[in-house]
Homo-oligomer: A and B are copies of this chain.
Amino acid sequence: MSEVKHNTLEPLGSLSMTDRVENILREYFTENGFKPGDSLPKEMEISQKLNVGRNVVREALSRLRMLGMIETRPRRGMIMAQPDLLAGIEKVLNPLLLSQDNLKDIFELRLILEMGISEFLFARKTDKDLAELEDIVSKQKDAVVVSKEEEVAFHGKLYEMTGNDTFKRFQNLLMPVFEHVFTEYYDKGIHRDIPNPVTHHDLFVYLKQGTQEEFRKAMYQHLEVYFKTITAR
């Protein structure tokens, strides 16, 4: 185990000893091609080889454990594990803590994702999915303004229909932040003044019977009030 080589002398900045040990360990795993299930050196061995205190090593390992990169198994000790891709992002999605720039970015990211899924929806839609979606929209009575729960039910079903679990989970994570930011914009006077609003029911009909181009155009119109904010600022 050796630390990153420095070609130039740069300030170590705010890197603590724990940050450095964490970085060294992740680099060590990558460079040695560790795979899930592989046994890892013990805490004490790492402490001795790196010549750092056990408390520091324990903290660094605890961070990796949080990300799902390592696990401790009875009788086997510490092993490499399959990390949870979204564990970190899930933990920090607190609108009160994120910067305004981050919140704006997340707001826009949902729009990008929402506009990018039509290929997947048309490639993977099934009769069963469409029946479930019809059930969801029939309860919304072709309303232009729906409740937060109805919004989540409809768009959440679309995310599920992409057949991509990570995407589905990611979009669902972003939703509360999206709500938070939109409420701010809404309060600033961007209102639902679209002349011919496209409802969830309309989107369902295009997805069932229309072309992919028609569906995508309708989705744009459905989200138009949000798209207005990307050029309005």
> Which A residues form the contact surface with B (CB < 8 A)?
16, 18-19, 22, 26, 29-30, 33-36, 55, 58-60, 62-63, 65-69, 80-89, 91-94, 96-99, 101-102, 105-106, 108-109, 111-120, 123-124, 162, 164-167, 170, 213, 220, 227, 230-231
Bound complex: CA A85 to CA B94 (Å): 10
On whether the beta carbons of B123 and A231 are closer than 8 Å, the reply is: yes
In contact, B92 and A167 (Cβ under 8 angstroms): no
Q: Chain A's interface: helix, strand, loop or mixed, by majority?
A: helix
Q: Mind listing 18 A-B residue pairs with CB under 8 Å?
A: A33-B96, A35-B96, A36-B97, A60-B62, A83-B97, A85-B98, A87-B88, A88-B89, A105-B166, A108-B162, A109-B166, A109-B170, A111-B119, A112-B117, A112-B120, A112-B164, A113-B116, A124-B230
CB distance from A166 to the nearest CB of B (A): 4
Alpha-carbon separation in the docked complex, A23 to B141 (Å): 40
Q: Least Cβ distance of A47 to chain B in Å?
A: 14
Chain B contacts for A230, CB-based, 8 A: 119-120, 123-124
Given contacts A26-B91, A80-B97, A119-B220, 13 further A-B contacts (CB under 8 A): A34-B96, A34-B97, A67-B88, A81-B97, A82-B98, A85-B92, A88-B89, A88-B91, A109-B170, A111-B116, A113-B116, A116-B117, A123-B230
CB neighbours of A111 from chain B (8 A)? 116, 119-120
Copies per complex of this chain: 2
CA–CA, A85 and B123, complex, Å: 31
Q: Kindly list chain B residues whose C-beta atoms are within 8 Å of the C-beta of A113.
A: 112-113, 116
In the complex, residue of chain B having the shortest beta-carbon distance to the beta carbon of A35 = B96
**A68 → B minimal CB distance (Å):** 7
In the bound complex, do residue A164 and residue B109 qualify as a contact, i.e. CB atoms below 8 Å apart? yes
A147 to chain B, nearest CB (A): 23
* CB < 8 Å neighbour of A58 from B59, B97, B112, B166: B59
